[in-house]
């Protein structure tokens, strides 16, 4: 099916023997090459650096400074004060252990899924892989409500066994599994599918037991991907906000929730600033480790086309494994989503859907259905920005001459995923307030904020593909007189086109579901789908609740369709998403 893929596989160029040693024959041209290379690299980096500096680093620094720089004096003593408070330490402790527990549970539940999606062929596999990714891109405000129907009162567990988990830590942990299942399936499963099963078979022929063969051949190849997925899940659960707010009840608070509370409710900006710095450092550390494992993963592995490794399950054991994975997916992922659909249809004649076309009594100034158009428009703009910024950054990072400093930038690009939306939102307010950057009232702020979240996914998808492009092709083209632009167009673009489409699709889906930053800046005449859902849920009355469910269902379907298209485009590479 995927003809072009085998040519670009990292395996093709990562064989140690086949590698052309860079220094061996390039000595005479070394100087000019290096300076030209670094000039190109700087050129590629300029726009992403400027983008993240202006729309991320500067706003965040501004709000942190506002909290700690009072009346012209730096209040660094606040750091110790805040960290000495017992409730703050409790928050730090809870944040850490629930993230560890969530990560462990997610791996436990999702690794069998990763294996099944990687190695088994079964009808509906592509659709199912899109479906399990839907929660990841849906706003928590939507899913939290549905998830309660699973673990809350009258939910499935309650009906079957009288088990209710709402407002216990189990609800939080399960919801984290629900949201991050796809991260493991995609990151680990993506690689697993491409590991050549013949290597393990060879080990068995040489006398290794099934387990020994797996432990000595497959596990080492897989472990960097598992580590990368675990770190990603840890990052997302460490900074969990909506899930903890909706399911945790008031007794559980993560660092992110506490930053929100201190900024938004209590207006204690210095405490919020200290907590932001703590979270920043923690996330930075996670990302540095993550970047390191990712690089390790991109090291030489013999990879094959994924379509060759998957086959129909054979024997009772394999069918049972497939069955249990499908049952887990159905109970944990499909069911909460189905509850949304069911509740949206819980009125005769699609009444909730029909109501969406009316101007809802002034709540929005526009019919709620218009939110679909707004969301799509914003998402297209956000995708364009994210793809531009993300692929330039990926191109710069993929260069072989990229030094340590540039590689550090790799981790920095992921930081927006780990910094609270309320910090960024408040930062925007006080920093982007003067011409030429007075964007506070502009619609454009929404796609800019969404692109901050989308760009890291673009980088993560593009980077492994770009790194795998054989440098010799580029060099050959350059020697034959092609300009750098022509080299990119003739060599890189054909190879990365699919990755680019996938990255764009993922950025698009993430933008559609983005809530935290959007809710800060969306205007009432232009609500996005998640914002409209949140507003409808915030009002009493059957019709408002029903419309919220109907809009959620529409959002879910749009996301699912976008992801299904991605499945068709998938290159089955080691990219994470």
Partner 1 sequence: MVTLSACGSSGSADGSGGDSKTVTLVSHNSWAASKSVISAFEKESGYTVKVLEDGDAGQAVNKAILTKDNPQGDVFFGVDNTLLSRALDNGLFQPYEAKGLDQVGAQYQLDKDKHRVTPIDYGDICVNYDKKYFADHKLTPPASFDDLVKPAYKNLLVTENASTSSPGLGFLLGTAAKYGDSGWPDYWKKLKANGVKVVDGWEQAYNQEFSGSAGGKKAKGERPLVVSYASSPPAEVIYADPKPKTAPTGVATGTCFRQIEFAGLLSNAHNTKGGKAFIDFLISKRFQEDMPLNMYVYPVVEGAKVPAEFTAYGPAAKDPETMAPAKVAANRDQWVKSWTSLVLK
DSSP-derived pairing of the beta strands 69-70 and 73-74: antiparallel
Could you tell me if 566 and 505 are in contact, meaning their C-beta atoms sit under 8 angstroms apart? yes
Q: State the minimum distance, in angstroms, from the CB of residue 467 to partner 1.
A: 26
Range in contact with partner 1 (rule: CB under 8 A) among 187-195, 220-228, 244-252, 369-377: 244-252
Taking the least distance from each CB to partner 1, the nearer of 9 and 368 is 368
Q: State the minimum distance, in angstroms, from the CB of residue 359 to partner 1.
A: 7
Restricting to residues 61-90, name those near partner 1 by CB under 8 A.
Answer: 66
Distances (CA, A) of 287 to 229, 232, 402: 12, 8, 18
At 30, list the tokens: 């070394």
CA distance 257 to 238: 11
Tell me: does residue 365 bind partner 1 (CB under 8 A): yes
Tell me: does residue 387 bind partner 1 (CB under 8 A): no
Quick one: which of 23, 123, 124, 540 contacts partner 1 (CB under 8 A)?
540
Range in contact with partner 1 (rule: CB under 8 A) among 28-36, 92-100, 308-316, 438-446: 438-446
Taking the least distance from each CB to partner 1, the nearer of 110 and 458 is 458
Helix (H) or strand (E) holding 294: helix 269-297
Quickly count: other Cβ atoms within 10 Å of residue 89's Cβ. Answer: 12
Tell me: does residue 347 bind partner 1 (CB under 8 A): yes
**Nearest to residue 170, comparing CAs of 242, 254, 226, 243?**
243
Q: State the minimum distance, in angstroms, from the CB of residue 147 to partner 1.
A: 11
Range in contact with partner 1 (rule: CB under 8 A) among 231-239, 289-297, 357-365, 369-377: 357-365
Tell me: does residue 440 bind partner 1 (CB under 8 A): yes
Cβ partners under 8 Å of residue 13, min gap 6 = 19, 468, 470
Number of H helices, E strands in the chain: 31, 2
Quick one: which of 545, 550, 556, 575 contacts partner 1 (CB under 8 A)?
545
Tell me: does residue 306 bind partner 1 (CB under 8 A): no
Distances (CA, A) of 192 to 91, 184, 225: 37, 11, 9
Altogether, the residues listed in the chain come to a count of 577
At 277, list the tokens: 């710095």
Quick one: which of 29, 153, 210, 215 contacts partner 1 (CB under 8 A)?
153
- Indicate the Cα dihedral angle 296, 297, 303, 308, nearest 10°: 170
| Complete DSSP assignment for 532-567 | HHHHHHTS-SHHHHHHHHHHHHHHHHHHHHHHHHHH
Tell me: does residue 369 bind partner 1 (CB under 8 A): no
Quick one: which of 535, 553, 555, 562 contacts partner 1 (CB under 8 A)?
535
| Count of chain residues binding partner 1 (CB under 8 A) | 70
Taking the least distance from each CB to partner 1, the nearer of 115 and 520 is 520
User: What would the x/- binding string for partner 1 be over residues 481 to 520, using CB under 8 A?
Assistant: --------------------------------------xx
Cβ partners under 8 Å of residue 215, min gap 6 = none
CA distance 323 to 334: 15
Tell me: does residue 433 bind partner 1 (CB under 8 A): yes
Tell me: does residue 265 bind partner 1 (CB under 8 A): yes
Residue ranges in contact with partner 1 by CB under 8 A: 47, 51, 66, 145, 148-149, 152-154, 167, 245-246, 248-251, 261, 263-267, 343, 346-347, 351, 359, 361-365, 381, 384-385, 388, 426, 429-430, 433-445, 448, 519-520, 522-525, 535, 537-546
């Amino acid at each position: 099916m995927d003809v072009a893929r085998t040519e670009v596989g990292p395996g093709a160029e990562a064989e140690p023997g086949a590698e052309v040693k860079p220094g061996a024959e390039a000595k005479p041209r070394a100087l000019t090459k290096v300076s030209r290379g670094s000039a190109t690299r700087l050129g590629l980096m300029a726009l992403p650096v400027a983008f993240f500096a202006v729309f991320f680093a500067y706003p965040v620094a501004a709000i942190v400074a506002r909290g700690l720089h009072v009346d012209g004096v730096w209040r660094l003593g606040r750091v110790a004060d805040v960290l000495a408070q017992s409730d703050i330490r409790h928050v730090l402790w809870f944040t850490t252990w629930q993230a560890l527990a969530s990560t462990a549970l997610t791996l436990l539940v999702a690794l069998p899924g990763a294996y099944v999606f990687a190695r088994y062929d079964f009808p509906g596999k592509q659709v199912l892989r899109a479906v399990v990714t839907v929660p990841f891109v849906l706003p928590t405000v939507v899913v939290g409500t549905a998830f309660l129907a699973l673990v809350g009162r009258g939910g499935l567990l309650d009906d079957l066994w009288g088990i209710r988990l709402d407002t216990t830590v189990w609800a939080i942990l399960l919801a984290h599994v629900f949201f991050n299942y796809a991260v493991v399936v995609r990151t680990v499963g993506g690689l697993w599918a491409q590991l050549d099963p013949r290597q393990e078979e060879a080990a068995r022929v040489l006398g290794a037991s099934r387990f020994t063969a797996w432990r000595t051949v497959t596990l080492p190849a897989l472990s960097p991907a598992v580590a990368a997925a675990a770190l990603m899940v840890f990052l997302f659960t460490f900074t969990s906000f909506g899930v903890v707010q909706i399911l945790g009840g008031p007794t559980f608070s993560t660092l992110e929730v506490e930053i929100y509370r201190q900024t938004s409710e209590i207006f204690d900006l210095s405490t919020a600033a200290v907590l932001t710095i703590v979270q920043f450092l923690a996330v930075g550390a996670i990302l540095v480790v993550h970047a390191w494992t990712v690089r390790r993963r991109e090291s030489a592995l013999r990879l094959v086309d994924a379509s060759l490794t998957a086959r129909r399950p054979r024997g009772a054991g394999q069918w049972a494994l497939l069955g249990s994975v499908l049952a887990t997916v159905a109970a944990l992922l499909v069911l909460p989503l189905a509850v949304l659909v069911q509740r949206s249809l819980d009125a005769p004649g699609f009444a909730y859907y029909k109501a969406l076309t009316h101007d809802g009594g002034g709540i929005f100034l526009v019919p709620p259905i218009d939110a679909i158009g707004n969301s799509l428009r914003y998402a297209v703009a956000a995708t364009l920005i994210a793809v531009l910024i993300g692929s330039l950054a990926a191109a710069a990072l993929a260069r072989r001459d990229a030094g340590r400093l540039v590689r550090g930038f790799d981790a920095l690009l992921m930081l927006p995923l780990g910094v609270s939306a309320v910090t960024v939102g408040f930062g925007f307010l006080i920093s982007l307030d003067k011409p030429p950057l007075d964007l506070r009232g502009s619609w454009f702020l929404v796609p800019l904020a969404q692109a901050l979240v989308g760009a890291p996914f673009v980088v993560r998808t593009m980077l492994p593909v770009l790194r795998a492009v054989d440098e010799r092709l580029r060099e050959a083209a350059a020697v034959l007189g092609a300009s750098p632009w022509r080299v990119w167009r003739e060599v890189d673009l054909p190879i990365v086109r699919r990755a680019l489409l996938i990255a764009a699709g993922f950025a698009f889906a993430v933008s559609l579901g983005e809530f935290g930053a959007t809710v800060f800046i969306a205007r009432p005449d232009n609500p996005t789908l998640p914002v409209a859902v949140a507003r409808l849920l915030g009002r009493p009355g059957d019709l408002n609740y029903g419309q919220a469910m109907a809009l959620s269902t529409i959002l879910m379907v749009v996301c699912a369709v976008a992801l299904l298209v991605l499945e068709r485009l998938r290159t089955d590479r080691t990219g994470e998403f």
